[in-house]
Amino acid sequence: MDERRKSLAIRVGGKAGQGVKSVGKLIQKYLQELGFYTFGYLGYPSLIRGGYNFYQIDFSLHPLQASKKEAEIYIPLSPDALEKAAPFLTPQTTILLDPKLSPPPSSQQPLINLNLSPLLKENNIPPIMINTALVGSLAKVLNYPLNPLEATIKKVYKEKPALVIKDNLKAAELGYSLDLQWRGKAILPPPEEKADLLTLSGNEAIALGFIAGGGKFYTAYPMTPSTNILHYLTKVADKKKIIVRQASTEIEAIGSALGASYAGARSMVATSGGGVDLMSEFISLAGIAEVPLVLVDAQRTGPGTGLPTWQEQGDLNLARHAGHGEFPRLVIAPGDPEEAYLLTQEALNLAERYQMPVILLSDKHLSESVYSCRREFFLKNQIEIEKGKIVSQIKEKYFLYPRYDLKQTISPRPLPGTPNGLHTTNSDEHNEYGQSIESEPLREKMQAKRLKKLELLKNELPLPKIYGPRRAKTALIGWGSTKGSILEAQEYLQKEKNKALDFIHFTYLYPLDYQRLEKTLANYSNFILIENNSTGQLQKDLFQMGIRPNQLKVVLKDDGEPFFVDELVNKISKALESFL
């Protein structure tokens, strides 16, 4: 295997409330401190205490954005954690365990049996810190230095009392002091030069995009997997002078966000698919009343309550169609936190410039996975605020202001409080001043004015990005969060199997300019559409872009988990064979 591509995966599993997440985070931050690129994949049931949680960290010398299915090292933190993780372990997976937390496996897997409790007791370290000691032992097993772990502990526990930090440092040192070996040598030595990396989840990137994009009013009703945006923005609200408000219902959330946006505050609201269902009527209002709004749909497994804490890309059709009647909207699906950061800012601009709802599609995988991101990207990609046609001063006297002036596709929008700008913002069909009308030619004109925004958008929106040699016969197609897994699989197939593939990644999903896209797609003979759902929701659009059914294979996954790289490689290989 290409040395540069080599990666390792460490999985930690245990009961909810046992600290799986904090152990995972500590390991990931440590690996980052060592200079590795990392990817953290978290799984948990919809429970507060007890159910099985896991945190897998893949790491490598090269950028990586997805998990392998099977881990090289597994750390069970509870008695049933071995059994629960079975599908994700191989006979070669090394089990790193402490008998205090989990009995040894009955299988023949390589085992590193620690016995940390007596050691902690001797040194008066609270038993709960066995988790940190385990990370110390892991560092030893991997043959990595201890110092960066100490630096990481100081960083991660920065806000904890001094004694807690001291005890954790000691625990790590004790774990590290054991005489441990794994496969003889450091299998993946840390890089000599470190990139300036950050670990960020998609939700945190969206929240940062909101702040960088001049967001002022954020409101949401808690719903997994969107809730971390609410938590993060609440934490920084005072510092960044924004209002963050937990709404009493999803309907109140979107209604109040529309009110704030109408009054001149850049507003955003986030939820998951079920919340979008509830918000649909207000999305439709935003369409006819031409009020800007950014709505984040962090998708999860549906329908109904589905699997509330698991992955699915099931809402593309919902995002494109939610809300009755016909009205313009924009749907954007970032593929990773860097794109999420940038596209959230774009979404805020486009919503105001086009005076329409913009739906930003995330999902459990993007929203909650922890990615290595380049700090530089975040610092360099703050885009200029474009407020569109907001009017805050009107010199002429108007009895009523022609807010919906038909002479312009996008008409000036006076903010309430502005003298001479009085008008009605109306969910009813209306005339130029916003006054309600009944069926008449004016209705046709107003509807045409609004729908024309889609044509303007089509001219402006960029085409999907193409990754790869650009001369391949077959193109992989995906949208949103599958980007990482597809890029990894594409690279593997290129380097290990000598299969050249291009990858067309859609971030702007509605409106689509079929004519322009047809030209792009005409360069390929075959296509493999990859979606993390049951039906492949972009399929019909591809036919509209001139793809014939015999040119297209669809690779789907709907078991609640994202595509693992190794699994996707196999699925793509099979699809490729079927074209022959």
- Residue 478: closest CA among 537, 410, 566: 537
The CA angle 226-332-68, to the nearest 5 degrees, is 65
Q: Which is nearer to another protein, 225 or 323 (CB)?
A: 323
Least distance to another protein, CB of residue 251, Å: 7
CB of 263 to another protein, least distance (A): 4
CB 269 within 8 A of CB 253: yes
Binding site for another protein (CB under 8 A): 155, 198-200, 204, 208, 211-214, 216-217, 219, 236-241, 243, 245, 248-249, 251-265, 267, 281-282, 285, 289, 373, 375, 378-379, 382, 385, 397, 399-400, 415-428, 433-436
List, in sequence order, the alpha helices (H) in 112-226. Answer: 116-122, 130-141, 147-156, 162-177, 202-212
Using the minimum distance from each CB to another protein, give the nearer residue, 29 or 557: 29
| Cα separation, 280 vs 376, whole angstroms | 37
Residues found in the chain:
580
Place of tokens 């940038």: 342
Dihedral of the alpha carbons of 294, 295, 296, 300, in degrees to the nearest 10: -160
Shortest Cβ 381–another protein spacing (Å): 10
Closest approach of another protein to the CB of residue 298, in Å:
19
Closer to another protein by CB, 7 or 267: give it.
Answer: 267
List CB contacts of 290: < 8 A, sequence separation 6 or more: 355, 356, 404, 411, 413, 450
CB of residue 366 to another protein, shortest distance in Å: 16
Place of tokens 């109140």: 252
Q: For residues 323 and 112, what is the distance between their CA atoms, to the nearest angstrom?
A: 56
* Smallest separation (angstroms) from another protein to the CB of 193: 17
Calculate the alpha carbon distances from 37 to 40, 65, 116, 336 in Å: 10, 9, 29, 14
Task: Kindly state the smallest distance separating residue 292's Cβ from another protein, in Å.
Answer: 12
Q: Look at strands 413-414 and 390-391 and give their pairing.
A: parallel
Shortest CB 268 distance to another protein, Å: 12
Residue 268 vs 486, nearer CB to another protein: 268
Residue type, 145: P
Rounded least distance, CB 362 to another protein, Å: 18
Report the C-alpha gap between 424 and 433 in whole angstroms. Answer: 6
The nearer residue to another protein, 101 or 373, going by C-beta atoms, is 373
Nearer to another protein, 132 or 261 (CB): 261
Nearer to another protein, 89 or 260 (CB): 260
DSSP 133-154: HHHHHHHHHTT--SHHHHHHHH
User: For residue 8, what are the β-bridge partners?
Assistant: 59
Question: Distance between CA 41 and CA 367 in Å, rounded?
Answer: 11
- 546: Cα separation from own chain's centroid: 30
DSSP classification of residue 249: S
**CB of 58 vs another protein, minimal distance in Å:** 18
CA separation, residue 432 to residues 352, 391, 470 (Å):
19, 16, 49
Which residue lies nearer to another protein by CB, 124 or 439?
439
Closer to another protein by CB, 51 or 388: give it: 388
* 391 three-state secondary structure: strand
Measure the CA–CA gap between 300 and 481, rounded to whole angstroms: 12
**Residue number with CB closer to another protein (374 or 499):** 374
Smallest distance from another protein to CB 46, Å: 23
Of the pair 143, 447, the CB lying nearest another protein is at 447
Burial pattern 119-154, b for ≥16 Cβ within 10 A else e, equals bbeeeebeeebbbbbbbbbbbbbbbbebebbbebbe
Q: Report the C-alpha gap between 171 and 193 in whole angstroms.
A: 29
Q: Which is nearer to another protein, 362 or 431 (CB)?
A: 431
Nearer to another protein by Cβ, of 165 and 422: the residue is: 422
Residue 153 or residue 509: which is nearer to another protein going by CB?
153
Which residue type, as a one-letter code, is found at position 377?
F
CA-nearest of 115, 152, 157, 175 to 19 is: 157
CB of 223 to another protein, least distance (A): 16
CB of 414 to another protein, least distance (A): 8
**C-beta of 137: minimal distance to another protein in Å?**
24
Cα distances (Å, whole numbers) of residue 5 to 62, 96, 117, 492:
6, 25, 37, 8
